[in-house]
């Protein structure tokens, strides 16, 4: 059995294999509510044969959205809309389903990427005032965010906890806490964005304080035995920014609090970043976290080929691999990987007849007659 297709235990969650569909923003919600697009998009990916599907960054408040079209989990309407989508997925797929909870911080109030991705001024009809650790904009020419005071910090913590309780009611199998890609929790971690002089800024311990408080609040609000893990940017790719050694300290602190895994990405907090792109360019960061802390890790970033993904897991560089763009391009990537590597994968009965003759044992339990 290829390592990529061996079962994986993530806290109390049993997964069929080590392929994760990474969270991918769709910018297609209405007032935070999932739409028919999400039903089609997630339903499609749920039939992929992957072990775990992680929903896109879902804002814990309206102010925490990246764009006006972001998915949210901060209202009863949001919860009801997601319930409809999740019910359809559960009815037709055994895939594990998690949700990524997020707050955009100073990167909020922005256009969708296909509309330029630029900041929407706070005074515009569809814009809002952003918040951050410090009153320091993400990019030159953008409006400065408001620095969160004690009351604001408490509200954000409460918003994350409330979203986690909604996720529990919906029956999600796990929560990924978004502390990467330059969004609010990453902004607290990085000295490039966090210029506070109180207990939440300055030293590494102080900069980790608020993200750890949020993790504690989410962990306490979600059922024991169901995993909560964190997505991190292992480096800002900017001198003087967040770095791999800081990531190890953060991972160790999370481990002590019951974090189930670390999903290791990079970058996003500064336009000055210089990222050396290449196949698997972020994998060494995941490997180091795994080796130093012993925490399970999920590797992501230009992992596109089945043999590449198999090698990452087989060599112990990470416990699982997450695919984003590659999965959008080929939503049946796990099927094709299983065929190439000589493994088996779950597929819906309605698709059993698509099994190639040369891979007649590809689909687990597939058998049918023909009239």
51-82 tens-digit pLDDT: 999 999 999 999 999 999 999 999 999 999 99
| The architecture CATH gives domain 3-359 | Alpha-Beta Barrel (3.20)
* pLDDT recorded at residue 369: 61
* pLDDT recorded at residue 371: 57
Query: Which sequence spans correspond to the domains of the chain?
Result: 3-359
Active-site annotation, residues: 183
* pLDDT recorded at residue 357: 86
Angle at 11 between CA 312 and CA 324, to 5 degrees: 45
* pLDDT recorded at residue 365: 76
- pTM higher than 0.85, yes or no? yes
pLDDT lower than 50: segments of the chain: none
* pLDDT recorded at residue 360: 83
* pLDDT recorded at residue 46: 97
* pLDDT recorded at residue 152: 98
């Amino acid at each position: 059995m290829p390592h990529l297709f061996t079962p994986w235990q993530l806290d109390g969650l049993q997964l069929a294999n080590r392929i994760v569909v990474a969270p991918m923003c769709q910018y297609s919600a209405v007032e935070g509510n999932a739409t028919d697009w999400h039903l089609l998009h997630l339903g499609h990916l749920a039939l992929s044969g992957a072990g775990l599907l992680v929903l896109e960054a879902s804002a814990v408040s309206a102010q925490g959205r990246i764009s006006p079209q972001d998915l949210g989990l901060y209202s009863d309407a949001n919860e009801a809309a997601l319930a409809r989508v999740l019910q359809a997925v559960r009815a037709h797929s055994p895939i594990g389903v998690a949700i990524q909870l997020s707050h955009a911080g100073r990167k909020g109030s922005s256009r969708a990427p296909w509309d330029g991705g630029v900041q929407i001024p706070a005074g515009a009809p569809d814009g809002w005032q952003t918040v951050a650790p410090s009153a320091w904009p993400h990019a030159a020419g953008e409006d400065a965010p408001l620095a969160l005071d004690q009351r604001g910090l408490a509200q954000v913590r409460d918003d994350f906890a409330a979203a986690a309780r909604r996720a529990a009611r919906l029956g999600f199998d796990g929560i990924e806490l978004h502390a990467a890609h330059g969004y609010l929790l990453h902004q607290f971690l990085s000295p490039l964005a966090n210029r506070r002089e109180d207990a939440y800024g300055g030293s590494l311990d102080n900069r980790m304080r608020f993200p750890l408080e949020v993790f504690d609040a989410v962990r306490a609000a979600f059922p024991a035995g169901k995993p909560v893990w964190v997505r991190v940017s292992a480096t800002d790719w900017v001198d003087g920014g967040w770095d791999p050694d800081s990531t190890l300290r953060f991972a160790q602190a999370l481990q002590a609090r019951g974090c189930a895994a670390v999903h290791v990405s990079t970058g996003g907090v500064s336009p000055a970043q210089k990222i050396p792109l290449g196949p698997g360019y972020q994998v060494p960061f995941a490997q180091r976290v795994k080796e130093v802390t012993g925490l399970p890790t999920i590797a992501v970033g230009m992992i596109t080929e089945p043999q590449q993904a198999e090698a990452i897991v087989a060599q112990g560089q990470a416990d699982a691999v997450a695919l984003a763009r590659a999965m959008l391009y080929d939503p049946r990537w796990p099927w094709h990987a299983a065929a190439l590597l000589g493994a088996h994968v779950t597929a819906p009965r309605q698709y059993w007849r698509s099994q190639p003759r040369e891979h007649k044992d590809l689909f687990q339990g597939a058998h049918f007659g023909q009239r």
